[in-house]
Amino acid sequence: MAIQEKNYWLETVTMPAGEARPLPENVDVVVVGSGVTGLSAARVLAKRGLSVAVFEAETFGWGASSRNGGMVLTGLKLPVPQLMARYGREPVQRMYEASLASIDCVEQVVREEQIDCYFSRCGHLEVACKQAHFDGYAESAALIAREFHHKLRIVAKSELRAEIGSDIYHGGLVDEMSAGLNPARYVAGLAMAAKRAGAGMFDHARVEQVARGDHNGGAKFRVRTTKGSVWAREVLLASGAYTSNATPALRKKIIPIGSYIIATEVLGRELARELSPKNRMIYDSKHFLYYYRLTPDNRMLFGGRAAFFPETERTVRQSAEILRRGMIRVYPQLRDSKVEFVWGGTLDFAFDVMPHTGRTDGMYYALGYAGHGVAMGTYLGSKIAGVILGEPNAIPFDRIPFPSPPIGLRSGHTWALPLAGAYYKLLDWVS
C-alpha cells in the first residue's frame, strides 16, 4: 500500500459535527479554537453555568490536538536546572507541581466524561543519545527528587533492553507518572463533553476579528466570524500554533514549528513487545529530537521535527522518508515494515520555550506548550476557566515575562525557521 498522507489517529474516530442553529446574539464567553485548551476551558465554563460559544475555523480538534503523539508528559520542555536559573526555586516548584497535576487533570477528565481514548499510565522513557546526556540524568533525577519529591528512575545501558529494543542509546530515564492516549479520540471526547455541558459548538466558523465594544452596558467584545457575529463578555484565545492575524498581538509572540509523524503497518505482537516492552512514551535527548511509541493497535508511531516549516504537502512528503530513516536507525528490526501513514502538524513555541497564560487586549489566552500540550493544555484550559469564573489566579505561568520576538525576527516570517533548525542541529552536534 502506498503511504497515505493523512493523520492515522483520525481513522480511529468520527469527530462530532457542529451546531446547525444560528449563532446566539450574545454569550458570556467566546472560545477561539477547539483543541484541548479551548475545549477543556469550555467544558468547565459551561458546567459552571456560563453561556459559551466555541468557534473553530475547521473541524473540532483540527489543530495540533488531534495530530500529536498522544504523550501525556510530566515536566516542561526546558530542563529543571535551566528553569531554576531563570525563575528561581519557588516559582519552578509551582511550575513542576502544575506539570504533575496536569497528568491527574487529564486522567480525571477522561474518567468523568468516560472518554474511550486508551488513556494509560504507561510512563515515559527519555533515552540518552550521548554519554554526557546520560551523565546529566543522575543530576536531574537527584534535583527533581530533592526539590519536587518526584521520583525518576535511571536505567543503565546494560539494563536498557528491558525498556526499549534498541542498542543505540547510552541509557535512559523513566518517569512512571506520564501517560499515553489516542489524541483524536481524546479531543473528540472533550468536544462531546463541552457540548453535553451546554457549550455552543460552531465548526467551520473562523474568527476574523475581535473588536472592543459595549453592548447594553454588558458585553465588551464584538466577535466577527465567517458564520456571523456575537457579543461576548470575555474572550479566550485557545488557537495555539494556529493563532492568526485575527489576533495580531498574540500571533507575533508564537513561533509555529512543524513536527511530523509516520505510522507503520500493524506489527506482530512479539515484534511490538520487543520494540517497547513496557509500552512507554519514548523520546530522545537531542534538541532536534525523535519521539515514538506504539499505537493501541501495535503500529510504531515515530515523530520528529523532520522539517522546521509548518506542514505543507511538500514538507509532509519529504518527512516520510527522513523519519523512516531515523526510525530504522533506532530500530533496524523495522527495515521491512511498511510505513502506512505520514502527517504533520504545528507546534506552539514561545520565544522563551515556556507555556503562557494571561491577557492581551483584554482577551485571555493560554498557549506555548512546546510539545507538552496534551496535558498542559487540558490543565491550563481548566485553570484559565477558573480565572474567568472569578477564582484566584494561582497559575504559575501567568506572571512570568512573555517575550516578544527578537528585533528583526517576526514569527510570521517563516524564512527564519530553517535558521532555527540549523541552530538546533548545531547544538546537538556540540552538546
Helix axes 80-87, 131-148, angle to 10 degrees: 60
Question: Residue 197 or 376: which CB sits closer to ligand FAD?
Answer: 376
Residue with cell string 511550575: 95
Among residues 110, 127, 192, 241, which is the contact residue for ligand FAD, using CB under 6 A?
A: 241
Assess 236 for contact with ligand FAD (CB under 6 A). no
Assess 239 for contact with ligand FAD (CB under 6 A). yes
Q: In the window 360-419, what residues touch ligand FAD (CB under 6 A)?
A: 367, 369, 371-375, 377
Assess 347 for contact with ligand FAD (CB under 6 A). yes
Assess 171 for contact with ligand FAD (CB under 6 A). no
How many Cα neighbours within 13 Å face the side chain of 150? 21
Cβ–Cβ < 8 Å for 398, 357 = yes
Assess 256 for contact with ligand FAD (CB under 6 A). no
Assess 52 for contact with ligand FAD (CB under 6 A). no
Residue 419 burial by Cβ neighbours in a 10 Å radius (0-12, 13-18, 19+): exposed
Assess 207 for contact with ligand FAD (CB under 6 A). yes
Assess 58 for contact with ligand FAD (CB under 6 A). yes
Among residues 27, 73, 127, 192, which is the contact residue for ligand FAD, using CB under 6 A?
A: 73
The distance from CA 248 to its chain's CA centroid, rounded to whole angstroms, is 22
Q: What angle do CA 377, 382, 385 make, to 5 degrees?
A: 120
Assess 113 for contact with ligand FAD (CB under 6 A). no
Residue 39 to residues 192, 226, 240, 380, 390, Cα–Cα distance (Å): 9, 20, 13, 11, 19
Assess 178 for contact with ligand FAD (CB under 6 A). no
Among residues 23, 30, 35, 310, which is the contact residue for ligand FAD, using CB under 6 A?
A: 35
Find residue 228's DSSP bridge partners: 225
Assess 345 for contact with ligand FAD (CB under 6 A). yes
Question: Residue 35 or 326: which CB sits closer to ligand FAD?
Answer: 35
> What cell numbers appear for 229 in the block?
457575529
Sign of CA dihedral 33, 36, 37, 42: positive
Chain contacts with ligand FAD (rule: CB under 6 A): 32-38, 55-58, 62-65, 67-71, 73, 206-207, 238-244, 246, 259, 261, 303, 345-348, 367, 369, 371-375, 377
